[in-house]
Structures are given as structure tokens and as C-alpha cells.
Amino acid sequence: MLEIPVIQGRGFRNVVQDGRTTGFQFQLRNPNYRGFAASLLDGIDVIVDGEKIPSHVPLWTLQGRTVDLDQLRESVDLRWQLDELATITVPRPGGLGPGVHRLEIVIHVRRSYFPPAVSRTPFTTERSMVIVPDAPEGGLKFGVSTYSYTGDIYSTMTLDDVLADVADMGATGIEILGEGNIPSYPNPDPTWIEHWRERLDTLGLTPNNYGSWVDTTRWHDRTLTVEEGAAQLQTDLRLAHRLGFDSVRPKFGVVSWNLDPHPIWSDVVERSLELAAELDVVICPEIHAPTPIDHPVTQGYIDFIERTGSDHFKLLIDTGIFNTAPVLEMSEEVEIGDGGEIPPHLRPLAVPISDLVAVLPHVHFIQAKFAEVDDTLTDMHVPWTQIIAALQDAGWNGWLSSEYEGRREPYRGNDQVRRSHALLRTLASRR
């Protein structure tokens, strides 16, 4: 599916030829109500970060052919269809630097059915775009959670669109929500699984973490039994394995504001460890605000690891626990108390980075939770400089999976995830 904005979120990148960065490019949806001959195009004005590019400079790529403005005007069989994208390449030695750029566009189209004095019609649009640098080789791995696209997925974007978006920004890992992203869950059609695997292979994506739920309050009159909970977890372990994932995050029902998991959790997991080992899938409970690292819940998981000696039960850290400022615009609505006082469960924990370092030997996966990265690539809540430094100093080389949980305007998720990756990769490259 094409995005509604004329300037597409995908396709904004620097152009590298023979090892040199020679310019940048972006993609456009046809802004007209019909397709038309490319010879009716009369140029494009490009303003990037306030700098205007002469209209004859950009190159157009339509239907696999790249032409300049004169060739565009003289073309006979070239068209711009409504369902096809145009790629605009702007020659510029050195390209654009990593980060956020403001792109303003005016597309000029001649309309034969308008009087000559007004036949040259301008289509004007603008959008903030992000240049994401390449990830440094070795060390940390960078992925994206489909949760970042909540509100867009299945409305303005398909799952295939999301996967393409993740690959387009140069991420290599994909994290999904089992019940959110798998059609006919828990029994997807084998042809869908085959398509999933082929799609990931084509895009160069690695399935890394599968989100699941053990809903202990599924029924009104009783909670899940251990047997029922184990059956649910094992269903997801098997399905995750079929889809190529090597870790599963089970979200157990909780019994307190500190997110104490329902008491059946340990028996449910213990009954599933043999299967997890057989499938080579790691079960990763989540350390999520308002539960800090130095807490009985976390210690209970660590005690379980040490008691069982299993390599298939480890921790998943959600970086929302490191927030230094409150996030009040949550995607899942939780009411603020009377008088505007921030309730305890929404107050920033500001967990010390030293606490993270202490448990890193038990950490399998990190959800790089964030809510706002601004135009200067500054996260408004999470201290990424310290986190990245601590991970690199400790030699931790697992996945950082960007998980956007902020405002849900259309396409805001894919823009924010790009900002997250630009920030994280820039920090990782500095050391």
C-alpha cells in the first residue's frame, strides 16, 4: 500500500556510488487524481532544510527508467500511474547528514484541459524525514517491534508494509505480537507461514522476539490453572518456532501495581522448559515499569534461573524503566488522578544504569521503549547515551528492538522509529 502523504516515509536515503555519497533521494506518490504521460511533468522544486535545489537538477525514476527534466518532457511512452511511485534523486556531494530533515516539494504538472494561463498546476507538500545511518558492524543488533505501528497496521499499512518499512531503515530484526499480527491465530494457514518466511528472507530480516500473553483472568469466575497456562505458553512456543523466532516474551497476568505476576507463572514456565529447550526458544519475562530491576519480581525471575539452571529462561528489559521524565500520553489509556497529580505507576523510575549492568548476564533481549525523539535526535525521556555506553562496556551484543509507545497520529510511528534508529546507531558508532 502507498502511504497517504505524497512524500513517502520509505525511500529517503543517501545515494552511494563507487563508495562515494553523491546525493540523496526520496519517493513520491502521484498527487493527481489520474495517471498521466510523464511528458506532462514540468519539473519539481525541492527545498531541503531551507535550501532550494534548482528545478532542473533532480532526476526522475519512473517505471524503472531514470531521466532528467528534458528527457522527461520529450518522453513518448513513459507514464506516472496512480499506483506507482516516482523516485527523485538530488545530486549533492556528501548527501545529507544523519537525522531529521525538512523536505518541501512542489510538483509541476501541465493539464491540457485547463486554459493555457493556468495549465501549469503546482502540487505542494512537505514532510519531516529521517536519514538513518548504517549500523556499526558487530556489537549491538538493531530491530523494530511491530507494536510501534499500532494504529497504522491494518488501517493504513499491511503487515507486509511494516516489514518493508523496517527493512527500508536498515534494521535487521523484527519483533511481533503473536495475537496482534498472525492471521487466524493460533492456527495460521501454512501458506501464510511460507509467505512470512519468504518475505523475511527477501528483506533480510531476522525474527527475534515473539510477544505472547498468558491471560490469567480470561474468565470472570476463576483464574487460569497451571495446566491451562502451560498449554497457552506452549502453543506460543511452538508457533514462534515455526515462524523462526528464538525468544518468546510471555506477558503473565499481574496481581498488583508492582506487576507481580500471578503465582502460577513459575509452574507454567517450569512445565514448559523442556519444550523450550527442544525448540531452542528462550522464554523471556518482561521487566517493565512500574517494576524496577532491584525488586522482588525481578529477583524472583533470577532465583528461578539459578534454581533451574536453564539457558532457556532469561530476562527481557523494557527501557521505559529508565525514564527520567513522565510519559503522560500513553497509547493505552490510564486515567490521571484528580488534581493532575501523576499517579505512582506513571512516575518515572529513573532506574540506575548500574542496576542494568548487574543483571546483564541474565538479559536475553532489550525492548528499546521510547515515546518521543525530537528533531535534534534527543530522546525526551530515556538516557540512551548512558545505556548504550553501559551495554558496549559490558560487551553485551544482543538485540535492541525499538518499541515506540507515544502519540498515535497516522504514520507517526514509522517516523519516530526512524529517529530512534538514527539516535541509537549514532551513539553506538561513537565508541
For residue 288, indicate whether it is catalytic.
Answer: yes
Task: Give the span between the Cα atoms of 431 and 427, in whole angstroms.
Answer: 7
Mean pLDDT of 137-142: 94
**Beta-carbon-side half-sphere exposure of residue 383 (alpha carbons within 13 Å):** 18
Q: Cis omega before residue 290 (within 30°)?
A: yes
Average pLDDT, the chain: 95
Least-confidence region, from 16-25, 30-39, 322-331, 408-417:
322-331
Looking at residue 335, what is its pLDDT? 60
Q: Which three cell numbers stand for residue 135?
A: 549500523
Name which of 159, 129, 152, 143 is nearest 24 in CA terms.
Answer: 129
Express as a percent the part of the chain with pLDDT over 90.
Answer: 90
Q: How confident is the model at residue 138 (pLDDT cuts 50, 70, 90)?
A: confident
Looking at residue 54, what is its pLDDT? 87
Looking at residue 339, what is its pLDDT? 61
Give per-residue pLDDT as tens, 291-341.
Answer: 999 999 999 999 999 999 999 999 999 999 999 999 876 645 556 555 667
Q: How confident is the model at residue 290 (pLDDT cuts 50, 70, 90)?
A: very high
**Strand partners for 16:** 21
Mean pLDDT of 389-415: 96
Looking at residue 331, what is its pLDDT? 46
Give per-residue pLDDT as tens, 229-276.
Answer: 999 999 999 999 999 999 999 999 999 988 999 999 999 999 999 999
Catalytic residue among 288, 295, 364, 421: 288
Looking at residue 341, what is its pLDDT? 75
Task: Give the span between the Cα atoms of 166 and 147, in whole angstroms.
Answer: 12
Residues 376-404: b if buried by 16+ CB within 10 A, e if exposed: ebebebbbbeebbbbbbeeebebbbbbbb
Radius of gyration of the chain (CA): 24
Looking at residue 113, what is its pLDDT? 87
Looking at residue 338, what is its pLDDT? 59
Mean pLDDT of 347-365: 97
**Strand partners for 283:** 248, 313
Express as a percent the part of the chain with pLDDT over 70.
Answer: 97
Residue with cell 520509505: 10
Task: Give the span between the Cα atoms of 286 and 305, in whole angstroms.
Answer: 14
Give per-residue pLDDT as tens, 360-392.
Answer: 999 999 999 999 999 999 999 999 999 999 999
Looking at residue 360, what is its pLDDT? 98
Looking at residue 349, what is its pLDDT? 95
Looking at residue 116, what is its pLDDT? 79
Locate all alpha helices (DSSP H) within 77-204, ordered by sequence. 159-168, 178-181, 190-203
